[in-house]
Amino acid sequence: MQADRKPMPPPPRSPRRSLGELFDPRLPEQIEDPYPLYARARREEPVFYCPRLDLWIVTRYADIVAVLKDTARFSSANALYATAEPLPEVRAILREGYESFTSLVQSDPPDHTRVRAVFGKAFGPQRVAALEGQIRAIARELIDAFARDGRADLVSQLALPLPGYVICDLLGVPRADMRQLRAWHEDKQILMSAHAPVEVQVASARGYVAMQRYFQAQIEARRDDPREDLLTLLVPEAIGGSAPLGMQEAVCNAMDLLAAGHDTTTDLIGNAVDLLLARPEVAQALRDDRSLLAGAVDEVLRYESPIRGFFRNVTADAEVAGVRIPGGARVFLLYASGNRDEAEFPDGDRFDIRRGDVTRHLAFGKGIHFCVGSLLARTEGRTAIDLLLGRLPGLRRGEGVARRKGFFFQRGYDVFPIAWDVPPDA
């Protein structure tokens, strides 16, 4: 006979962790595939607070667009501030240059309107169309340098130098300076994260000030010797130029273009090649019909957005999707999630280069801060894909590991090996 058994109590249910606890864009699994978490957020907690980052995350397309429209309550001023106060020895060096950084993407109207008008001239459709031949020539030259090798690192040999040289040409500085400009740009990133050992931060502060001096000297030189370049457009009225800008604004905006237009375009090219090599039938469709290229580039931008999201500072208590966000808080608009939102893009997790009206994606933002370089970036992306597919037969992933970037708000590759067939008589 069996003894009476008491029914077992059900196992304690582990409380489901909230999105705010789970969200950590620096974790390897969230770097590799963040999209299931984004989908859960859109379903269950479309706006949530992440204590680890002290950020309110907005994940649905419609809510992101609503926030972008409300520029008075959700300010871009100082949107990219450093996460910690600089150390005294770092601050001492920074004082030798400009103390604050005032660029287009970090400003609100009326300053934003005034500065944006200066940029409008440099990035309009006619100017970009005129650059197209130059972009193609640079891409061709870069590919020529490795076409007979049968293998390459896509990032360091094409995706990084192509937009780097384009920005140098646009600004009007020698291409040979790109290496130095990148090193200074990395100094700026080190200063913003403020986590590096003190001696590294000190060296970066020196680099940051040197970059300011470099651009100031370049802009001053354009006053006496104007050219057909962006730096000439930035020469302040006060020293005889045409721009309604102070010298600090002119310098900061020149510096910011490197941040805004370089890695982002590198990531677009890396993400595009990644998606196409995983789908040979799509790559073949593009080889057969180049008119599909423009839609394909926008679908890459939607599906794998190089800028995962962007910040706004909350100026007064606000409500988004019924969630109260206090004044003084900071929000992160998760563009990469809005771009997969089923309410806006049916079957949003499917990569489809023939999607209708994909250009309403949020990869370039929306509203007054919509990317000024969007046309240029699309042209660079289209040209790179066109030439890679046309020039390298049997293009495939190469040996070695493709390494994704670990940055908080960027999505792309640091290293991406590719291989292809080289005919014996090449």
Q: What residues make contact with ligand HEM under the rule CB under 6 A?
A: 76, 104-105, 116, 167, 257, 260-261, 264-265, 268, 306-307, 310, 363-365, 369, 371-373, 376-377
- C-beta of 116 vs 391, nearer to ligand HEM: 116
For the chain, how big is the Rg over CA atoms in Å? 24
422 phi/psi in degrees, rounded to 5: -115, 115
- C-beta of 282 vs 376, nearer to ligand HEM: 376
What is the nearest approach in angstroms of ligand HEM to the Cβ of residue 200? 28
CB of 131 within 8 A of CB of 142? no
Beta bridge partners of 324: 319
56 phi/psi in degrees, rounded to 5: -95, 125
- C-beta of 90 vs 155, nearer to ligand HEM: 155
Instruction: Tell which phi-psi region holds residue 208, choosing left (phi > 0), alpha (psi between -120 and 50) or beta.
Output: alpha
Q: Please tell me whether residue 397 adopts helix, strand or coil conformation.
A: strand
- C-beta of 214 vs 311, nearer to ligand HEM: 311
CB of 419 within 8 A of CB of 151? yes
What is the nearest approach in angstroms of ligand HEM to the Cβ of residue 310? 4
Q: Which residue is nearest to ligand HEM (CB)?
A: 373
- The strands making up 55-58's β-sheet, listed across from edge to edge, are 47-50, 55-58, 330-333, 310-314, 74-75
What is the nearest approach in angstroms of ligand HEM to the Cβ of residue 9? 51
- C-beta of 155 vs 205, nearer to ligand HEM: 155
Distance CA 29, CA 129 (A): 40
What is the nearest approach in angstroms of ligand HEM to the Cβ of residue 6? 60
What is the nearest approach in angstroms of ligand HEM to the Cβ of residue 79? 7
- C-beta of 175 vs 396, nearer to ligand HEM: 175
What is the nearest approach in angstroms of ligand HEM to the Cβ of residue 112? 6
